[in-house]
Structure 1
Amino acid sequence: MKTAEIFLLFAAVALRATAAPAEEAPVQKPEPEVMEVNQEPKPEVAEALVPLGAEVHSQYCLPGWEFYRGSCYFLNRNSYTWSGAVSYCANFRATVASVHSPLEYNHFQYMIGRAGLSTAWIGGYHFEYNWRWHDGSVFDYQNFMSGGSSSTNKCLRMNTLVGQGWYSSHCNNAIPSICQVKVHC
């Protein structure tokens, strides 16, 4: 009886070894998702591209914005009061632009003039006997035109006249504005 069991065991092993291997079903790999060039990114991707703070962490600006010396700028051609301009820029997690050098000032003059405009709000405002920038940066550059600083007019606007500086204006005047988002690479 033991011999018969051993014989059957060897026969089963031999039969299994000579049997044709079973065909395995081919493994289907998922196709990678390909985005066409003109296709909009998915909302979760688009959301990741928009900064979640006042600072962008790449050198790329939103469409319609331009990069200059470490920040992205947008000239809002619509007319708002100064506080309206602040609110408009905040919609983009931006501030009204601050100016820290003659180069930046000249660039803003160029932006405004290129758009066919003559003036725009910048982020300066007068508070407690001092001029300040809305973004909290140091008011380290001044370019007031002669007679252009007044403690009664509390908000700064600039113009495109060559050689002319900025001047204080009544904050309820409605004019275009420049928005700014600082870039950190």
Structure 2
Amino acid sequence: MKLLTVSVLVCSMMALAGAAALQEAEKEHEAVAKIQEEEHHVDNRSTYCPDGWTKYNIRCFLFVPEALSWAQAEKNCLSMGAHLASVHGTEEYNQIKSMIEEKTHEYPETWIGGSDSQEDGVWLWSDGTPFIFSYWCSGEPTTQQCLQMNYGGDKCWDDTYCATTLPSVCAKKI
């Protein structure tokens, strides 16, 4: 009888854990769907970006060549009504890389808006959007707390020290 009770408890715990994981996956799917819906939604607002900014879907992106720390780069973006760029898919990442290459004729390591400075291993975008897509280099992330793109030969993502000075990419909604 005790074995049956223990078995029932274990099965119940496994079912609850599975249900929780399913709910979390559904929440992530809904968040991605909402971002994609917003990107394709057309309204009466201006569809133009300020001079020097590059339009992609519903956002404008700006490459800032000045080498700043991650916090200084975010503060600079905020001063323009933007944040360091969040990235929500491979196509968008490739567009940002292309924009940087067009401006610099190379692929410099560059700040984007990801950080796990609030809690190690919990990556967040500075603009508050869900951190679902990632393009980490092999073996990354490690123990540093700020996200750079265009790292290494694969031009992937690396976490590095936030005090490092790099160029950056800002993004804001149209």
Same fold by TM-score greater than 0.5: yes
Displacement, 1:182?
1.2
> How do 1:32-181 residues align onto structure 2 when only pairs under 5 Å count?
57-116=45-104, 117=106, 118-126=108-116, 127-128=118-119, 129-150=121-142, 152-159=143-150, 163-181=154-172
**C-alpha distance 77-121 of structure 1, shift in aligned 2 (>3 A):** same
Q: Residues 68-94 of structure 1: CA distance to partner in whole angstroms, max 9, x if unpaired?
A: 111001000111000000010011110
Given residue 121 of structure 1, which amino acid in structure 2 is its aligned partner?
W
Runs of 4+ in structure 1 displaced over 4 angstroms? none
Q: TM-score scaled to structure 2, two decimals?
A: 0.68
**C-alpha distance 161-170 of structure 1, shift in aligned 2 (>3 A):** closer
CA-atom RMSD in angstroms:
1.5
**SS of equivalent to 2:123:** strand
Equivalent-residue separation in structure 2 for 1:109 and 1:95 (angstroms):
17
Say which one has the larger Rg. Answer: 1
Higher helix content, 1 or 2: 2
2:151, 2:158 within 8 Å by CA — same for their partners in 1? no
Percent sequence identity over aligned pairs: 34
Task: Identify unmatched segments of 5+ residues in structure 1.
Answer: 1-56
